[in-house]
C-alpha cells in the first residue's frame, strides 16, 4: 500500500494562510491503514485547526468528510454536497488522491493542499512500522532475487550487488538499512538458487519506470 | 585479457602487466576547486614512482575537480592516468559521452565503480542516478572496445575505443563467501585489472585470494593489492569505521603503543610491510598505494618497499 505521514501542523497552517472556510477530506484506504489520513486523523486535524483558530481569535469553519478512495473520481464525487462556501480543501489522501480531488474542486475555485507527505509503496513489518518495498519500476524482477527487490531496497539500486560498502549485513548508508544484496544472497542460498547470482545482470530499462515519463495503463477490455 | 589485437596494448599499464611486471599504481584526489596547479606538481613528484595514477571521481560524494579533467592534467605532466567513473552521478548517456571525450584526450585506463552513496558527501540532497551499476558499466566499456558499439547497439564512429578496463573489489565486505563470485561476474563482464580496498588484515586478504585462485580468476584478471599508510593511531581508528574496511586489533594496538611523534613513521613501516607480504601471495600482480592527503609519502613507500625504480618503456 501507499504509506504516508501527516504533515506537521505548522506547515499546514502556513499553507492555509488566512483562509477561514476549510474542508478536510480524508481517505479510508491506504492512508487510513497507516493512520495518516483516515477518518480519525481527519477529526484530529479538524480539532487542531479549530483550537488554533480560537487561540488566535480567528474565525474558522471546518467541514470534514472521509472519502472511500480519493484516487477514484466516482468516490471523489461524494464531496459535492460539502463544497459550498469552501475556500481551501486539505486532502489527507496520498499524492494521487490530492490530485484527483484538486481536479474535481477546480471548477469551484477551491484551493487544494496536501495534509500528508506521501512516502512510499510498502507494508507493515510490525505494528506501527512500515517499510518501503516497491519502487514501481514497471518491470518486476522479483523472481530473480528471491522475492527481495534490489531496485528499491538497495540504496544504489544495484542489480549486481552488493557493493563494497556492505558490512555485517548492513547498508553503508545506515545501520537501520539491511543490505538488500545480503538479504538476496541469504534468501537465494536458502532456496538453493545461488545460480541466479552468477551471471552479470544487464542494464535495466528505466523507461518502464518513472524515468520514461508519467505512465498509463489502458485495459481495452475494460474501457467503456 | 585482450585489448583487441595481440601485440597492441591499450595502455602502458596493460603492457607492463602483460610483460609480467609487478606494477605500482597510486591515487590522487583532485582539489575542491578549479586550480589544478598543486595537483600537477604532485603528479610531477609521483610519476616516477608509480606506473599509473588514479584520479578519483568525486570520492565520498564530495564535489571535486572531475576525474576526466584530472586525468588530462596527468597526461600533460607526462604521467599515465587511470580515470575513475562512478555510477552515482551519471547515466549511461553521460558515461559513454565522457568515455569518448576522455579517450579523445588520451585517457586509456578506466576504473569502473559503484560509488559511495551521496549521503556521505557534501550534497546529500542530490538525486541518485545509478542508471547502471559497476558490472554493467564494465560491460558497456568492453562493448565500446571489443564490438565498437554503444550500449544501444549503434556503432561508434571511427571504430572501437581501446580502453583498459579496471574495477574495484573489496575482500573485506560481506557476504565474504560471495565476494570472489562477484569478482567473477566483473571478469565475465570484462574487467581486466582490479584494485582492492585497503588491506590491513593480510590474513583475511590471503583467504580471499585463495577463493579467487580456486575460481582461476587470478589468471584472467590482474589483481592489485590496495594499501594505505596510516598517519596516526587516530587515522587508523577512523579508517576502521569506514564501511568495508577491516583493521585488525593487533595492528591498532601496535600503532597505539607507539609515541605520537613516531606514529607517522610506524604507519609507513606497516604499509611497506604489508606491500612486502602481499607481494608473496600468488596471484597478486601489483600494489595500489592510496595515500590520500599524504600523497607526498608515496615515493618513500615505493622506495622502501624495494619497488623503485619503475620500469621505463
Give residue-wise pLDDT tens across range B168-211: 999 999 899 899 999 999 999 999 999 999 999 999 999 999 99
* CA dist., res. A177 & res. A133, Å (int): 12
Answer whether B84 touches A (CB < 8 Å): no
A206/B131 CB distance under 8 A: yes
> Which DSSP symbol is given to A203?
P
Under the banding of pLDDT at 50, 70 and 90, the label for residue B253 is very high
The answer to whether B52 and B23 have CB atoms below 8 angstroms apart is: yes
ipTM: 0.91
pLDDT tens-digit profile of B131-168? 999 999 999 999 999 999 999 999 999 999 999 999 99
Q: Give the gyration radius of chain A's Cα atoms.
A: 22
B182/A162 CB distance under 8 A: yes
Partners of residue B134 in chain A, C-beta under 8 Å = 158, 160, 163
pLDDT tens-digit profile of B62-102? 999 999 999 999 999 999 999 999 999 999 999 999 999 99
Give the nearest chain B residue to A209 (CA atoms).
Answer: B131
Answer whether B249 touches A (CB < 8 Å): no
Scanning B47-161, the segments in alpha helix (DSSP H) are 67-76, 92-104, 134-146
Average pLDDT, chain B: 94
Give the orientation angle of helix B67-76 with respect to helix B92-104, to 10 degrees.
10
CA distances A174 to A129, A178, B164, B207, Å, are: 17, 8, 34, 28
Answer whether B171 touches A (CB < 8 Å): no
**End-to-end Cα, chain B, rounded Å:** 21
- The shortest C-alpha distance from B121 to chain A (Å) reads 11
* CA dist., res. B161 & res. B99, Å (int): 9
Partners of residue B87 in chain A, C-beta under 8 Å = 156
* CA dist., res. A10 & res. A16, Å (int): 10
- The shortest C-alpha distance from A209 to chain B (Å) reads 12
* CA dist., res. A17 & res. A14, Å (int): 5
Mutate to test the interface with A, among B84, B121, B132, B139 (most CBs of A within 10 A): B132
Question: pTM of this prediction?
Answer: 0.93
Q: The cell 576525474 sits on which residue?
A: B67
Nearest CB partner across the interface for B181, out of A173, A198, A203: A198
* CA dist., res. B159 & res. A91, Å (int): 57
pLDDT tens-digit profile of A100-145? 999 999 999 999 999 999 999 999 999 999 999 999 999 999 999 9
* CA dist., res. B38 & res. B49, Å (int): 18
A159/B115 CB distance under 8 A: no
Amino acid at each position: 500500500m501507499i504509506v504516508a505521514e501527516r504533515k506537521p501542523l505548522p506547515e499546514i497552517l502556513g499553507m492555509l494562510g488566512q483562509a477561514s472556510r476549510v474542508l478536510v477530506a480524508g481517505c479510508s484506504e491506504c492512508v487510513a491503514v497507516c493512520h495518516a489520513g483516515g477518518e480519525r486523523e481527519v477529526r484530529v486535524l479538524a480539532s487542531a485547526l479549530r483550537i488554533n483558530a480560537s487561540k488566535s481569535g480567528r474565525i474558522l469553519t471546518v467541514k470534514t468528510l472521509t472519502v472511500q478512495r480519493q484516487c477514484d473520481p466516482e468516490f471523489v464525487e461524494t464531496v459535492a454536497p460539502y463544497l459550498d462556501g469552501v475556500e481551501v480543501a486539505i486532502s489527507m489522501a496520498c499524492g494521487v488522491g490530492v490530485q484527483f480531488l484538486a481536479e474535481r474542486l477546480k471548477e469551484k475555485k477551491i484551493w487544494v493542499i496536501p495534509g500528508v507527505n506521501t512516502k512510499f509503496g510498502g507494508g507493515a513489518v510490525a505494528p506501527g512500522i512500515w517499510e518501503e518495498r516497491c519502487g514501481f519500476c514497471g518491470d518486476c524482477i522479483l523472481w530473480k532475487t528471491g522475492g527481495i527487490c534490489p531496485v528499491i531496497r538497495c540504496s544504489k539500486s544495484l542489480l549486481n550487488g552488493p557493493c563494497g560498502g556492505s558490512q555485517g549485513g548492513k547498508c553503508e548508508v545506515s545501520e537501520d538499512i539491511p543490505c538488500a544484496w545480503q538479504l538476496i544472497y541469504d534468501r537465494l542460498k536458502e532456496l538453493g538458487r545461488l545460480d541466479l547470482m552468477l551471471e552479470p545482470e544487464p542494464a535495466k530499462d528505466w523507461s518502464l519506470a518513472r524515468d520514461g515519463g508519467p505512465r498509463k495503463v489502458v485495459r481495452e477490455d475494460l474501457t467503456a | 585479457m585482450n585489448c583487441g589485437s595481440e601485440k597492441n596494448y591499450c595502455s602502458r599499464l596493460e603492457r607492463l602487466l602483460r610483460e609480467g611486471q609487478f606494477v605500482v599504481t597510486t591515487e590522487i584526489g583532485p582539489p575542491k576547486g578549479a586550480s589544478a596547479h598543486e595537483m600537477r606538481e604532485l603528479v610531477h613528484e609521483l610519476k616516477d614512482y608509480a606506473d599509473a595514477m588514479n584520479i578519483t571521481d568525486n570520492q565520498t560524494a564530495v564535489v571535486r575537480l572531475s576525474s576526466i579533467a584530472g586525468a588530462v592534467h596527468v597526461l600533460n605532466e607526462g604521467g599515465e592516468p587511470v580515470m575513475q567513473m562512478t555510477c552515482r552521478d551519471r547515466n549511461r548517456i553521460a558515461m559513454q559521452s565522457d568515455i569518448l571525450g576522455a579517450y579523445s584526450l588520451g585517457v586509456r585506463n578506466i576504473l569502473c565503480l559503484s560509488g559511495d552513496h551521496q549521503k556521505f558527501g557534501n550534497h546529500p540532497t542530490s538525486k541518485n542516478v545509478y542508471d547502471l551499476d559497476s558490472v554493467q558499466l564494465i560491460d558497456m566499456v568492453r562493448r565500446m572496445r571489443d564490438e565498437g558499439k554503444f550500449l544501444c547497439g549503434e556503432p561508434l564512429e571511427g571504430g572501437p575505443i581501446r580502453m583498459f578496463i579496471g574495477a574495484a573489489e573489496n575482500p573485506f565486505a560481506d557476504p565474504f563467501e560471495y565476494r570472489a563470485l562477484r569478482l567473477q561476474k566483473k571478469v565475465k563482464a570484462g574487467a581486466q585489472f582490479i584494485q582492492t580496498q585497503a588491506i590491513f588484515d593480510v590474513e583475511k586478504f590471503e583467504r580471499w585470494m585463495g577463493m579467487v585462485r580456486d575460481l582461476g580468476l587470478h589468471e584472467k584478471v590482474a589483481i592489485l593489492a590496495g594499501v594505505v599508510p596510516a598517519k596516526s593511531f587516530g587515522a587508523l581508528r577512523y579508517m576502521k569505521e569506514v564501511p568495508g574496511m577491516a583493521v585488525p586489533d593487533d595492528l591498532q594496538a601496535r600503532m597505539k603503543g607507539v609515541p605520537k611523534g613516531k606514529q607517522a613513521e610506524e604507519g609507513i613501516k606497516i604499509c611497506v610491510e604489508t606491500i612486502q607480504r602481499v607481494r608473496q601471495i600468488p596471484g597478486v600482480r601489483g600494489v595500489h598505494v592510496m595515500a590520500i592527503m599524504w600523497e607526498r609519502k608515496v615515493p618513500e613507500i615505493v622506495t622502501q618497499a624495494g619497488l623503485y625504480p619503475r620500469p621505463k618503456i
